[in-house]
Chain A
Amino acid sequence: MWELIRANKRNSILLMALMAVVLLLLGFVIGMAVVGPEGGLLGVGAAAMIWLVLALVSFSSGDQILLAASRAQPVTHDVHPQLFNVVEEMKIAAGLPVMPKVYIINDPAPNAFATGRSPQSASIAVTAGLLARLNRDELQGVVAHEMSHILHRDILYITLAGIMLGGIALLSQVFLRGTFYHSMGSRRRYSSGGRGGGQAQLVLFIIAIAAAILAPIMAQLLYFALSRRREYLADAGGARLTRYPEGLASALEKIAGDPAPQLATANEATAPMYIANPFKKRGRRTLSDLTSTHPPISERIRILRNMSQGASFKDYAQAYTATTRSKNIVPAAAMNDEPIAIRQGQVEAARPEKVQRQVHEIGDIMRRVNGFQFLTCDCGLKLKIPPDFRADAIRCPRCSRTLPLQAS
């Protein structure tokens, strides 16, 4: 476990450094192109400033930015007791010192992510669609996967990488658009100059444009290469925490087979932090092997279901090699895990399978998140009262009984 955490910390530093190199090179080329040959250093300086600001911002409040970008809303125990309880169960199983903050995202697509700087200041966010579809064991599997990301220190890495990637993409976009509009208006100046300096400047411009297009792609490849392995390890950690690999496997199955449209608030930079790739149905990822942020979900399910011996890291490693026929991904230090038995699943009432019921439930979850009061009248009618309804009581529209309201 400690070996794994140390390797992840090392990777985080490596990634920050490599992203910095990409950003500085980009700055150098753009500086040369815009100002001239002496502008290279100026560009590097500007890029360094951007890097510093991004690094500071992402380290101090990267989690808040990502949560806000995903439109996640913080919730308390009363809003969704089961989710809150499951997170607390996993916090205890992981031996975490403090309870992570819990968020719900208003979206029917089932997905989840964790973010934060350290296990002391972590957050877990799940979508309303996930809560409406999964049973208790499955929800526990998903939360355990996220808790493993927290425990393995993946969250800092993903937060930093997401923000840095966003910064590089932003710089390229600003330059490319600036160039485009600029050249539209003043094309004549380049052609009429006619001197050698203009020629060299043009070549530099072309190089800069190429760099601006390539840099975000390179940064993304870097990010993806390192994030796929972490998904497998978080699956392994999740199975170990719950002692029940089937919970996570069946949750992944439901997520993969879900008919809901893709997550609205996810983008290129935040995609790798989700438990399953939020861009599942668009066929725009043609270089799927290089650019996919997540291992194929069917493979993850098969590995988890092949864990028949136990729930330790060693069992996951065996199932991994048996399923993918490739070499082990679990670090050696985690392999001498003591044997852990798999527990029984919990029997639970069936979830509403009908899509309509699920849509209903998603609506109810979001109403709770937004502070609606739920009342059941004696005649059986359910009333949902918005938080801005200012009255002490309400009349039941069906049987005309007067129901008292709690002061909010």
Chain B
Amino acid sequence: MTGVIIALIIIFGILALVAIAVIGIYNSLVGSRNQVDNAWAQIDVQLKRRHDLIPNLVETAKGYMKHERETFEAITKARSAAMGAKTVSEAAKTEGQLADALSKFMLVVENYPELKANQNFLALQEELTSTENKIAFARQNYNDQVLFYNNRIQMFPSNVVAGMFAFTKRDFFQVESAAEREVPKVSFS
């Protein structure tokens, strides 16, 4: 009789320990998933900022660059494509194209010394440089968080808990364009 009770106590004890471990792992998985979401939100904020800056930039530059219609059109098109992106990989692709268009634009700016001396344009240029950097650093942070989170849902024992509660792997923010791969790229003097 006492033997049965002891066995029951032991079984309950083990079950309780397992339950505590599962709860702990579950909570920390939710924590790192939130970190990933938060890091993605950071990228989103900066991408929106880039989208908001472009109309100002184009408006300021238009008066000086009368013969560069194609360049402006390329930027405007890339911007609306990027704003319409739905998934992570789609966003990565369209944003890469937008960054390409912007760096081409900045190369063209080199031919317009008057524009480069405009105070308004200089301020916008600083904001754009910084936004490009912020996007790059936010992406760097996002990828770090995704790596950490993906490792956790693949490694034992957290993978068991992740399987039970349907934690799924996240995509890295891979950069499509070759020009964008060199982190903070848009560099204009």
Contacts and interface: CB of A to CB of B under 8 A. Distances in A.
B32 interface: no
Contacts of B189: 347-349
Contacts of A343: 182-184
Contact residue range for chain A? 20 to 34
A346 interface: yes
Contacts of B126: 81-82, 85
B184 A85 contact: no
Contacts of A243: 140, 183
Interface centre among A89, A243, A338 (most CB of B within 10 A): A89
Nearest to A85: B130
A1 B104 CA distance: 39
B127 A85 contact: yes
Interface in B21-75: 35, 39, 42, 46
Contact of A89 (B35, B137, B144, B187): B137
Nearest to B186: A346
A349 B35 CA distance: 38
A343 B145 CA distance: 20
B183 A376 contact: no
A136 B133 CA distance: 11
A347 B184 contact: no
A378 B184 CA distance: 36
Interface string A91-131: 01111000000000000000000000000000000000000
A338 B134 CA distance: 22
B187 A92 contact: no
A47 to B, nearest CB: 44
A338 B147 contact: yes
Contacts of A89: 130, 133-134, 137
Interface string B105-142: 00000000000000100010011011001100110110
Contacts of B144: 95
A86 interface: yes
B39 A95 contact: yes
Nearest to A96: B141
Interface string A71-91: 000000000011001101110
A346 B187 contact: yes
A344 interface: yes
A85 B46 CA distance: 12
Contacts of B145: 95
Interface in B128-167: 129-130, 133-134, 137-138, 140-141, 144-145, 147
A136 B141 contact: no
A348 B183 contact: no
A144 B188 CA distance: 22
11 contacts: A85-B130, A89-B130, A92-B138, A92-B141, A93-B140, A95-B141, A343-B182, A343-B184, A344-B182, A344-B183, A347-B188
Give 8 nearest A-B pairs by CB, closest first: A85-B130, A93-B137, A343-B183, A346-B187, A349-B189, A92-B137, A347-B187, A89-B133
Given A82-B126, A90-B137, A346-B187, 14 more contacts: A85-B129, A85-B130, A86-B130, A89-B137, A92-B134, A94-B141, A95-B144, A95-B145, A243-B140, A243-B183, A344-B183, A346-B129, A348-B189, A376-B119
